[in-house]
Amino acid sequence: MNVYDSARMADVLAPLGFCPVDSAEGADLVILNTCHIREKASEKVFSELGRLKPLKDRDGTMLAVAGCVAQAEGEAILARAPYVDVVLGPQAYHRLPELVARAARGAGTALDTDFPVDVKFDHLPAPATAQGVSAFLTVQEGCDKFCTFCVVPYTRGAEYSREPASVEAEARALVANGAVELTLLGQNVNAYHGRDETGAEIGLGALMRRLSRIDGLKRLRYTTSHPRDMDADLIAAHADTPAVMPYVHLPVQSGSDRILDAMNRGHTAEQYRDLVRRLRSARPDIALSSDFIVGFPGETDADFEATMALVAEIGFAAAYSFKYSPRPGTPAALIAAQVPEAVQDARLQRLQALLRDQQDAFNRALIGKTVPVLYAREGRHAGQLVGKTPWLQPVHAHASNAAAGQILETRILALAPNSLAGEICDTRFDSAERRSA
């Protein structure tokens, strides 16, 4: 979501004459778009600010801190890094031009971390900053679920869904700018419930069916989902809408009912298993990825083994796993029974080894198969393009730039570090290549 937000900040600053550059060196304005989800992400902001300060002293570069660290720690930023010009939370991006102008007048640090009553999406211009073949689009923001470990409900605010018409208009603009694949974003994207032109409320499944009718839009994805909001219609969309990719990121966090309850997740491990069964029966080739937290306060060996058992049973194509990080202001940070770091480390290592094996097996199973790959950008070596399978695996293959933006049948040859090596075997592409030769 921060990648998407950064593109929208570029859009909103464009009328003032700003355009994105590759390096902070020589820039007029540097915006750090920040994440507050774990302590490590949050601490990085202050070290990065220290690194940027000499640029400001030398060239007068304006410095801004945006995103959730700004939202949660605005005052701390002003105290620890008073040389910062603008501090703005995620709900205030549309006010960036005004804040930058105020700071440029030398009026001191401009701080905006309110949750405004007006909706920022109504004030943002149409997306102009090219995101390329595969683009992000925020359809939902915020969260009302209050998992006991999580800062999101406090930093991103209450749950909000954009109207389908506004989402569709933005999707059309992105496709006109070269997007072939859209990833719909939201902290709780499958809680989406936008009101359409007839006044009816539609869910994420219906929204994707509507977007799938846009000419030139071939692939739809969404992230991040909550198991509780995975409704029958969304599951059905995986079966009835070919553009909806066979991949779901569905964080489970833990396989222990006791811990799931302490996390306030609102479901059991068995309910998660059942959901996976329903997704797999709707779309047998569906792949799942997930998020895990190890060492949540009070997690015992038995709780952790329940997580390992759940992973072993389900089989994930990919996963993100983290040590529990106490976040200020969240209920779990106040629980006395924090798990010692060494125990967290050992559990994380075991879990990640299992998840890595599963990811490896998942990728290996594709060797020798022919799959549609959406090519997006140049690879590291000359004459190479990188694309994605329907299951989000990166594939590199020899191809000219003519293949960028195309979905081409590709035979998977081997595993490569962090990707798959493939060979394009699509007849449409062969003839196009010959014509251009």
Residues of the shown chain interacting with ligand SF4 in the complex, contacts defined by CB under 6 A = 143, 145-147, 150, 152-153, 187-188, 226
Q: How far apart are CA 46 and CA 139, in angstroms?
A: 30
Using rule CB under 6 A, residue 327 touches ligand 5AD? yes
Residue placing its CB nearer to ligand SF4 in the complex, 191 or 206: 191
- State the helix-helix crossing angle for 341-364 and 301-314, rounded to 10 degrees: 10
Residue placing its CB nearer to ligand 5AD in the complex, 66 or 293: 293
Footprint of ligand 5AD on 283-322 (CB under 6 A): 291, 293, 322
- Residue 325's binding partner among ligand SF4, ligand 5AD, none (Cβ under 5 to 8 angstroms by kind) is ligand 5AD
Candidate residues 150, 207, 259, 317; the one interacting with ligand 5AD per rule CB under 6 A: 150
- The size of the interface with ligand 5AD (CB under 6 A), counted in residues, is 12
- Residue 145's binding partner among ligand SF4, ligand 5AD, none (Cβ under 5 to 8 angstroms by kind) is ligand SF4
Task: Write down the least CB distance from residue 212 to ligand 5AD, Å.
Answer: 27
- Residue 4's binding partner among ligand SF4, ligand 5AD, none (Cβ under 5 to 8 angstroms by kind) is none
- Residue 327's binding partner among ligand 5AD, ligand SF4, none (Cβ under 5 to 8 angstroms by kind) is ligand 5AD
Residue 317 token pair: 């194509």
Strand 384-388 relative to strand 318-323: parallel, antiparallel, unpaired?
Answer: unpaired
Is residue 99 within 8 A of residue 88, CB to CB? The reply is yes
Using rule CB under 6 A, residue 325 touches ligand 5AD? yes
Using rule CB under 6 A, residue 149 touches ligand 5AD? yes
What is the enclosing helix (H) or strand (E) of 414?
A: strand 407-416
Residue placing its CB nearer to ligand 5AD in the complex, 168 or 303: 303
Q: Note if the bond before 224 is cis, omega within 30 degrees.
A: yes
221-237 burial: b if 16+ Cβ within 10 Å, else e: bbbbbbbbbbeeebbeb
Task: Write down the least CB distance from residue 229 to ligand SF4, Å.
Answer: 9
Task: Write down the least CB distance from residue 1 to ligand 5AD, Å.
Answer: 10
Q: How far apart are CA 224 and CA 183, in angstroms?
A: 10
Q: What is the DSSP string of 40-106?
A: HHHHHHHHHHHHHHHHHHHH--EEEEEEHHHHHHHHHHHHH-TT--EEE-TT-GGGHHHHHHHHHTT
Of the candidates 426, 427, 376, the one whose C-alpha atom is nearest the C-alpha of residue 404 is: 376
Candidate residues 74, 194, 203, 251; the one interacting with ligand 5AD per rule CB under 6 A: 251
Q: How far apart are CA 7 and CA 12, in angstroms?
A: 9
Backbone phi, psi, residue 352, to 5°: -70, -35
In the complex, the residues that contact ligand 5AD under the rule CB under 6 A are 37-38, 149-150, 251, 253, 291, 293, 322, 324-325, 327
